[in-house]
Structure 1
Amino acid sequence: MPSQSVLIVDDEPDIRELLDITLSRMGLVTHSAATLQEARTIVGQVNPDLCLTDMQLPDGNGIDLIEYIQQEFPHIPVAMITAHGSVEAAISALKAGAFDFVSKPIELDNLRKLVSSALQMQGDASLAESAMHEGLIGSSPSITTLRQKISKLARSQAPVHIEGESGSGKEVVARLIHNNGPRSHGPFIAVNCGAIPPELMESEFFGYLKGSFTGANQDKQGLFQAAAGGTLFLDEVADLPLAMQVKLLRAIQEKTARPVGSSEEQPTDFRLLSATHKNLAREVEENRFRQDLYYRINVIDVRVPSLRERLEDLPVLAANLLERICERHGGPSIELDRAALDALGKHSFPGNVRELENILERSLALSESDTLSARDLQLSSIPTPAGPPPTSESEVARPASGELRHHDVHGDLEGYLENIEREVISQALEICRWNKTATAKLLGISFRSLRYRQKKLGLEE
C-alpha cells in the first residue's frame, strides 16, 4: 500500500524542516512549498492526502489556498497553521473549509493527532453516504441540501451550531456529523443543558475530586473529559446560565477542564456541536447569551427544516417510522392507507418528526387492523395551535384540559400517566388471572393493543 502524502506550505524554512522530520517519522511522504503559487502547482501534480498551510504567505494567505483546494480538490483536507492566540484567524480558516488548525509554536503531539485524524477520513465516502441516507429519511430539496452539508461538515473539526424547532431532528444531525467524521470511533456525549440544575452544572461539566464537597465520596469525571477524543453535543445550549457560559468559553478556548476541588487544569480534546430551538442571535441581542461564546460555538451554522417544510417526505418518513416501531415491539408490519396519509398531510405538526412518531406509535397500539386509517390516527383530538410553534418540549406535551396535582404538573407527566395505565392493566390481568384474551375484552381493547401496552409498561410475564 503506497504511503500517504502531506503538502507543507510555509515560507519559513525552519518550520518546513520541523514538519518534514515529524511527518516522515510517521511514515508519511512530504512535499514542501514556500508560496501560494508553488502550493497550487504541487497540489495539482501530487494530489496529496493532506495539506498543512501557514496563514501568511509571501504572495497571499492560507485562506486563499483553502478556498482553492475546496473548489478544485474538495477531497483533500486542509489544516491551518496560525499565530498563537489568533482566534479570528482560526475561525476564518474553519469557515473557509479548513479541517482544523494548529497554533504556533507547534506542539508536536497535537500536530500528530491532527494529522492522524485528517488521514483517517480517506476511503470511507461510500459508507458515509449510505449512513447519511439511513439517518436522514427523505428526498425533499431541504433534506438533500442538509445531507450534503452534513457530509461536508463531518470532515471538519469546526464547532457547528444546529438550529431547528423542537422534535425536528437536531440530535440526529449531530450524530451524523460525529459518525461520519474522523472522531467516529470516539465517544458521542449528548447533554441537555436545560435539564441540569444550575447548582450542579460545574461538577457535571468539569467533574470533581473526592472530598471537594459534602457527598463527593469518589472522583467523578466531567462531561468535557468524557468526550475526549470524540464529540460533545450541547443540546438547548441557550439554557445555560451566564456564569456557566463564561466557564464554557474558557474550556473551549484553552481545551482544558479543571475539576471542582482541583488546582490543576486537565487537557481535553473534543469537537463541540451545539443546538437550540431558540434564535441564538436574538438571545445575544437581549443579553441572555454571551456574544463571545456565540462566535465560538457558531463558527458554522446548520438549520434543520421543520416537518411542515418537507411534507413531500411524509409518506416515506411515516413508513420508515412505522417499520421501526413494529420492529421495536416485535409486531407484524403495518401500513397507512391513503386517507391516513392525506390526514397527516393536513396536520400542522408543531412537534415535528417526534410528534409524527408519537402519533404513529399511539395509533398502532389502538388499531385492530393491519392497516392504519385516518380514524386510527385521531388527529382531531390533537389541538393545533393558531400561533407560532411551541418553544419547549413541555408545551408540545401539555394536556389541553384536566387537572393534576401540583407536584405532578411540575414532574414527569408521561411517567405519571404510564403509572396510572400500568395500575389499571395490572388490576385487569389479576381479575382475569392473566388470561390476555379475557383481559383485552374486559378493557375494551384489542389483543394486539394489550400485548403492546404490556411490553411498553414492563408487565410481561
Structure 2
Amino acid sequence: MSMNEVAACPRILVVDDEAHLRELLEITLIKMGLDVDSAETLALARAHLAKQSYALVLTDMRLPDGSGMELVQEVNAHFKNTPIAVITAFGSADNAVVALKAGAFDYVSKPVALDQLRKLVRSALQTNEVQKEQESAPEQVAIPAKSFMIGQSQGMQEVREQINRLARSMAPVIITGESGSGKELAAREIHTSSARSGKPFIAVNCGAIPETLMEAEFFGYRKGAFTGAADDREGFFQAASGGTLMLDEVADLPLPMQVKLLRAIQERRVRKVGATVEEAVDVRIISATHQNLAICVEEGRFRQDLYYRLNVIELHLPPLRERLEDIIVLSRNILRKLTGNDIDMSVEAIDALISYDFPGNVRELENILERAIAFANDGCIEVTDLALRGTRKLLDTPLAQPIPTEVVSHSAQPVSVPDQPADVEVDLFAAPGLPCSLPDYLENVEREMIKRALHQTRNNRTQAAELLGVSFRQLRYQIQKLKIQE
C-alpha cells in the first residue's frame, strides 16, 4: 500500500478504559481497512483530538477521569464535522437517549455486537462522504434539486437547516405539525439526505392498521403462526432494513403495541409472530403526529417511556398560513407536477390564495389547484376557478342564476330560505342556528342548480352549461364530483 493510500485511509478514535474491549474494537476496525487510535481516558482522548482529525470517535460512557457525555459535547462544539458514537451498558437506554440529545451520531450497547458496530461505522463514513460532496459544491442553489421542501420563507429555511443537521445523525426524530403540513415529505428528505438514502424508506400510517394485525405487520410472521399465514412474511422493520422507518400518526398506536414497539426500538431486535428467536434490525425511526404527545402522555393514552424514546429530536413544521410568501412558488411547483406544464394564474387568483388561511395546509392547496385545473379556461386559473372554503371571495362570486329557495341540507332534509326582494341579501346568520356548514350549503346549492339546469334542458349538458354560465368541462367536472344522476 502506498503512502498516499495510507494517508487517505479514514482514522477512528476509540475511547474506552476496558483493555480487552478496546483491543476487540481496534482489531475489528483494522480488519475493515481503517486506521485506529485508542485512548483509555478522557484526557488522552482530548490530546488525540488536538493533533489529529478523525472520521469517527467511538467512546464509552464511563471513563476514569470523566464521562463520555463530556466528550460528546466537546466534539460537537469544537469538531462539528466529526461524528461521535457512544458505547452504553446493556439496558442503559436512558443514557443512549441523553447522548443522542446531546448530539451523538448513534450508539451501540454492551456487549458490543460486531455486526452492529460495523454498520454504525459504515454509516458514519458514508455520512462524511455525503457532507464532503455538499461542501465541495458551493455553487449549489439554496434548495437542492432533490429537495421536497419548497419555499424561501424564514420558517422553511430553518426547517431545511434542521433537516441537514438531522441527516448527519441516526438519532430518532419526531416531526410535529398540523395535518397536511408535509411531515412525510420532511421525513423523506431526512432519509434522502442521509447515508441511508440508498436503502428503503418505509412510511407507515399507524392509525390505518387494525390492532389485531399490528404485531404481524410491524415484525412479520412465520408460516402457520395464525390462520391465513400461508408463508413467512417480513414486517415493516425488516422491509426498512438499513434504511428509515417512518411511523406516521404514532399517537394512534394502541398501548399494547406501544410496549412492543418500545422494546424493538430500544433493543434493535424483533421477533416475528410464531418465531422463537429474535433477529437484529437496523432501522432509523422517524415518527410524526399532529397531536401533542405530551398531552397524550398526561392523559394516559401514550407511554411516557416510548415518548422519551421517540422524542429525542423534534422537528416542527410551520403551517402554511405562517409562510404565505411560499404560496406562489408552491403553487407553481404543484401545477407543474400535476400538468407537466406552466399554467398561468391571474393576479386576482394569486391574491385570493394569499389571503386564504389554508386550514388543510399544503395538502389543501394541492386539492384546490387540482380542481382549478379542471375549471381553468385558456390555460389560466382565475379566482372563480378556486374553491376556497368560507372566504368572502367565494361568497362574492356572482351566480348565473339566483340561489334556489330550497336546498338539501347536511341531514338531507329540505331547508327553506325565506323569499327576499331581489336587492336584499339573505342573512343566514340572523337565524338562531345554521342549517349546515358553509361548504355543505354551497355544495348543495350548486348541486340543486345543476339538477335544475339539466332538467330544464332535458340533460343537454352543452345547453345546461350555457344556462349556468360555466364551461362544458366545468359542468362535467361538477357532475362527477357531486355524483349527480342525470
TM-score greater than 0.5 by the shorter chain: yes
1:105 Cα deviation (Å)? 2.0
1:31 Cα deviation (Å)? 1.5
Partner of 1:340: 349
1:56-95 aligned at under 5 Å gives the runs 56-95=62-101
State the secondary structure of the residue aligned to 2:129: coil
> Deviations along 1:230-255, whole A, 9 cap, x unmatched?
11111001111111111111221222
Structure 1 gaps of 5+ residues are 385-399, 405-419, 425-437, 457-461
Aligned-partner Cα distance in 2 for 1:132–1:171 = 18
Partner of 1:391: none
Identify, as 1 or 2, the structure richer in helix.
1
Q: Is the 8 A contact 1:7 1:52 kept in 2?
A: yes
Of 19, 42, 46, the residue aligned with 2:48 is 42
Q: Structure 2 length as normaliser, TM-score?
A: 0.77
Aligned-partner Cα distance in 1 for 2:375–2:158 = 37
State the secondary structure of the residue aligned to 1:165: coil
> Deviations along 1:175-216, whole A, 9 cap, x unmatched?
111111121111111110111112221221122222222222
Q: Is the 8 A contact 1:49 1:76 kept in 2?
A: yes
Of 303, 318, 342, the residue aligned with 2:316 is 303
Query: What one-letter code is carried by the residue in structure 2 that aligns with 1:136?
Result: M
Partner of 2:116: 110
State the secondary structure of the residue aligned to 1:122: helix
Change over 3 Å in CA distance of 1:35–1:355 after alignment to 2: same
Of 261, 266, 277, the residue aligned with 1:248 is 261
Partner of 2:239: 226
1:378-397 aligned at under 5 Å gives the runs 378-379=387-388
Aligned-partner Cα distance in 1 for 2:409–2:83 = 56
Partner of 1:323: 336
Q: Is the 8 A contact 2:147 2:189 kept in 1?
A: no
1:115 Cα deviation (Å)? 0.6
Of 353, 361, 367, the residue aligned with 1:358 is 367
Q: Is the 8 A contact 1:99 1:158 kept in 2?
A: yes
Matched-pair identity in %: 54
Higher RCO (CA < 8 A, seq sep 6+)? 1
1:131 Cα deviation (Å)? 4.0
> Deviations along 1:366-423, whole A, 9 cap, x unmatched?
1103222222213256799xxxxxxxxxxxxxxx95468xxxxxxxxxxxxxxx9xxx
Change over 3 Å in CA distance of 1:242–1:144 after alignment to 2: same
Aligned residues: 409
> Deviations along 1:416-455, whole A, 9 cap, x unmatched?
xxxx9xxx9xxxxxxxxxxxxx9888867758779999xx
Partner of 1:429: none
| Match status 1:236 vs 2:249 | yes
RMSD: 3.1
Aligned-partner Cα distance in 1 for 2:477–2:50 = 61
> Deviations along 1:127-152, whole A, 9 cap, x unmatched?
89754872111122211111111111
Query: What one-letter code is carried by the residue in structure 1 that aligns with 2:20?
Result: D
Query: What one-letter code is carried by the residue in structure 1 that aligns with 2:309?
Result: R
The runs of at least 4 aligned residues of structure 1 exceeding 6 Å deviation read 438-445, 447-453
Q: Is the 8 A contact 2:130 2:195 kept in 1?
A: no
1:6-25 aligned at under 5 Å gives the runs 6-25=12-31
> Deviations along 1:269-316, whole A, 9 cap, x unmatched?
211111111000000000011111111111111111111111121221
Aligned-partner Cα distance in 1 for 2:366–2:66 = 53
Query: What one-letter code is carried by the residue in structure 2 that aligns with 1:58?
Result: P
State the secondary structure of the residue aligned to 1:124: helix
Query: What one-letter code is carried by the residue in structure 1 that aligns with 2:275?
Result: S
Partner of 1:270: 283
Q: Structure 1 length as normaliser, TM-score?
A: 0.81
State the secondary structure of the residue aligned to 1:76: coil
Q: Is the 8 A contact 1:368 1:449 kept in 2?
A: no
Aligned-partner Cα distance in 2 for 1:25–1:440 = 77
Q: Is the 8 A contact 2:218 2:236 kept in 1?
A: yes
State the secondary structure of the residue aligned to 1:32: strand
Q: Is the 8 A contact 2:130 2:194 kept in 1?
A: no
1:398-413 aligned at under 5 Å gives the runs 402=410
| Match status 1:374 vs 2:374 | no
Aligned-partner Cα distance in 1 for 2:462–2:308 = 57
Partner of 2:270: 257
Aligned-partner Cα distance in 1 for 2:276–2:351 = 62
Q: Is the 8 A contact 1:36 1:59 kept in 2?
A: yes
